[in-house]
Amino acid sequence: MKTGLILLITLWITGTALGENCHIRVRVSNFPPQYFQGENGNWEGLSVELSRILLKEADCTVSFHDMPWARGLLSMKHGDIDMMTNLSVTEERKQYMVYVGPQRDESMMLAVHKSSNYQIESLDDLKKIPGIIAIQNDGYYGRDFDEKMKTDPEFRKVFQKTSYTTKYGVQISRERLVAFIMDRYDLAYKIKTDPTYQDVKIYPNFFIHKNWIYFGFSKKSVSPKWLRQIQQAYERVKTQGMFEKVLQRYQ
């Protein structure tokens, strides 16, 4: 009788633990093709689809929260949101988040006016462009780029950090910018679908930075148990090729 009671209690405790709800709050912004709101008001886009696939496999529900990139990073530190996407690995971010992935490849490229004829073969050549180049505040453009920003004043003064990237096409057309840096997926999509990018082209055969980018989860708000479950879900999704099917549609 006592053994049966212990067994029942054990099963109840185990069932309760397994039944704990996993709800993940994901940072998004209006930045097609990664994130945008459809006609019904629901969030859509490349990163949204990948996030939904991963979290569904992990048996987690999801909600999306619109905020700028820099605020998202700060919210991850404090546990006010649980997840961000499109993250490069940095030592500073490792202090407050756990990486799962990679999510996909990232190639940071230079966007210029379609009439321009610059000759760019290295980061140093960016100093020769006559005007301002926009970069995202708290964006990551690779170790070499970061080093030059820290050590080369002439290189550093070429760049203007911005919180919002939605007006880059207009600024290029009005010659307020000579160039900006953006991921190739995002840039190709905007040139194809956004009329304000009609004067923009991708500078060919020159990469500011190429690397893998990851999903990130807040150490402050996501328990080790759910982090393990999400990591296991990622491995299953990757093996099944579910991410690749989504990426092929956006390519």
C-alpha 251 chain-centroid distance? 16
Question: Residue 48 domain-assigned?
Answer: yes
Does 5 reside within a domain?
A: no
Query: Using an 8 Å Cβ cutoff, are 100 and 215 in contact?
Result: yes
Question: What's the pLDDT at 169?
Answer: 93
What confidence score (pLDDT) does residue 234 get?
A: 98
Do 32 and 90 have their domain in common?
Answer: yes
**How many other C-beta atoms are found inside a 10 Å radius of the C-beta of residue 160?**
15
The parent domain of residue 134 ranges over: 107-210
The answer on 244 and 129 residing in a single domain is no
pLDDT of residue 167: 87
199 plus 225 within the same structural domain? no
Same domain, 116 and 44: no
Closest of 198, 199, 195, 164 to residue 182, by C-alpha: 164
Q: State the pLDDT at residue 14.
A: 38
Instruction: Tell me the C-alpha distance between 239 and 218, whole Å.
Output: 25
pLDDT < 70: residue spans in the chain: 1-19, 164
Report the pLDDT value the prediction gives residue 1, as an integer from 0 to 100.
43
The per-residue pLDDT for 12 is 40
Same domain (yes/no): 99, 217: yes
Whether 142 and 96 map to the same domain: the answer is no
Q: Would you say residue 17 lies in a domain?
A: no
Same domain membership, residue 198 and residue 113: yes
